[in-house]
Amino acid sequence: MENRETLVYILICIFLSLHFLFWRFRPRYTEVTSVFRLTNHLNIRSLASVTSYNFDFMLYMVNKAKSVNKALDKAVPLCKPALKIRESMRYTLLSGGKRVRPMLCLAACELVGGQESTAMPTACAVEMLHASSLIQDDLPCMDDDNLRRGKPTNHKVYGEDISVLTADALIALAVKKMAASTSLGVPPERVLRAILEMTKALGTEGLVAGQAADLAGEGMSGLGLEYLEFIHIHKTAALLEASAVAGAIVGGGSDEEIERLRMYARCIGLMFQVVDDVLDVTKSSEELGKTAGKDLVAGKLTYPRFMGVEKSKEYAEKLNVEAREHLQGFDSQKVAPLLSLADYIVNRQN
């Protein structure tokens, strides 16, 4: 009897010790696994070249993505009773994504001497606008896609009606976020200028123009490189450009700094889409998290179709060189994130 009581006592002690150890180290374990998941998603480990500036880009990108995800989560809280439209906004906004545009915005702000917190509302806004464009792009009347970031597209889950409203709501929230949440320490004229940049990138001087030209060009023969460049500069590069420029504006950059960042971002914006076109024909849907080979099927004018895969890759490299030329003269340490980001974009695998 006494032996049995001793055994039970020992077992309880072991259980309590294990319980204590689990709760003591659980936060660190969760932290490590979440960084691992983000790193996998961002596919940064394939980037040996990034270490060349003696700068840990992987850590930088993971930390920025974590801060942005936290801020986005707070920006669209789930309310009770749960509204379908809010669930739908959160579905696309928080369903992964590399967070390239917010990172660009934060890095540009920091490069000109601003704080991360100063540009965070702008960084969230640009991701909201990006999410809105993805939802619209996937609709049956546009690209008609079922898969985005490895999950069913927004309209497949919530229906076309709610999807259209979600895209609208995200645009409205983005502008509200910049206007209402940017620190009071930032002069209002800077906030207004940043909002102007962002809205310019959306309409007929930006995404809308690019998408309209893209749709009009489907299946048409005889369109040249100029037409292709117009589509990509408007549809893809405009928002990347606005991300960097708006970040530098709220961060207090000089006109010269802002314009140099604009040129850099325009190059990486175009490069982003050249790489996207290459990935569309060289990777599987599983690797991309979206339907691969769609451009080819739709008869779209793409860089690989125009000049072949190898020449397209060379062109992306050329844009990378050009992009970094625009950053010459900035502080070599502060500019490291943007140099690494350019490398990341040209080498990305999804």
The single residue listed with the structure tokens 């004018």 is 301
Taking the C-alpha atoms of residue 343 and residue 347, their distance in angstroms, rounded to an integer, is 6
Applying CB under 6 A, the span of 186-194, 201-209, 216-224, 253-261 interacting with ligand GRG comes to: 201-209
**Which run of H or E residues covers position 147?**
strand 147-148
Interface positions, 241-300, toward ligand GRG (CB under 6 A): 273, 276
Nearer to ligand GRG, 179 or 190 (CB): 179
Annotate 100-134 with b (16+ C-beta within 10 A) or e (fewer). bbbbbbbbbbbbbebebebbbbbbbbbbbbbbbbb
Interface positions, 90-109, toward ligand GRG (CB under 6 A): 97-98, 100
Task: Output the CA–CA distances (angstroms, integers) from residue 95 to 38, 127, 176, 223, 339, in the order listed.
Answer: 12, 12, 22, 36, 27
Smallest distance, ligand GRG to C-beta of residue 191, A: 20
Interface positions, 24-83, toward ligand GRG (CB under 6 A): none
Under rule CB under 6 A, residue 236 binds ligand GRG = yes
Under rule CB under 6 A, residue 202 binds ligand GRG = yes
Smallest distance, ligand GRG to C-beta of residue 166, A: 11
Nearer to ligand GRG, 129 or 336 (CB): 129
Nearer to ligand GRG, 149 or 334 (CB): 149
Q: Which 8-state DSSP code applies to residue 236?
A: I
The secondary structure of the chain in percent helix, strand, coil, rounded to multiples of 5, reads: 75, 0, 25
Region of 300 (left: φ > 0; alpha: ψ -120 to 50; beta: rest) is beta
Cβ-based neighbour number of residue 61 at 10 Å: 25
Say whether the peptide bond before residue 81 is cis (omega within 30 degrees of 0): yes
Which of 123, 128, 134, 198 is close enough to bind ligand GRG by CB under 6 A? 134
Under rule CB under 6 A, residue 166 binds ligand GRG = no
Which of 149, 190, 193, 324 is close enough to bind ligand GRG by CB under 6 A? 149
Nearer to ligand GRG, 235 or 262 (CB): 235
Under rule CB under 6 A, residue 208 binds ligand GRG = yes
137 contacts 279 by C-beta, under 8 angstroms: no
125 contacts 180 by C-beta, under 8 angstroms: no
Applying CB under 6 A, the span of 57-65, 113-121, 133-141, 176-184 interacting with ligand GRG comes to: 133-141
Residue nearest to ligand GRG (CB): 97
Under rule CB under 6 A, residue 341 binds ligand GRG = no
Nearer to ligand GRG, 209 or 249 (CB): 209
Nearer to ligand GRG, 110 or 214 (CB): 214
Up-side HSE of residue 216: CA atoms within 13 Å toward CB? 11
Which of 69, 92, 133, 154 is close enough to bind ligand GRG by CB under 6 A? 133
Residues engaged in binding ligand GRG (CB under 6 A):
97-98, 100, 129, 132-134, 136-137, 142, 149, 171, 202, 207-208, 211, 235-236, 273, 276
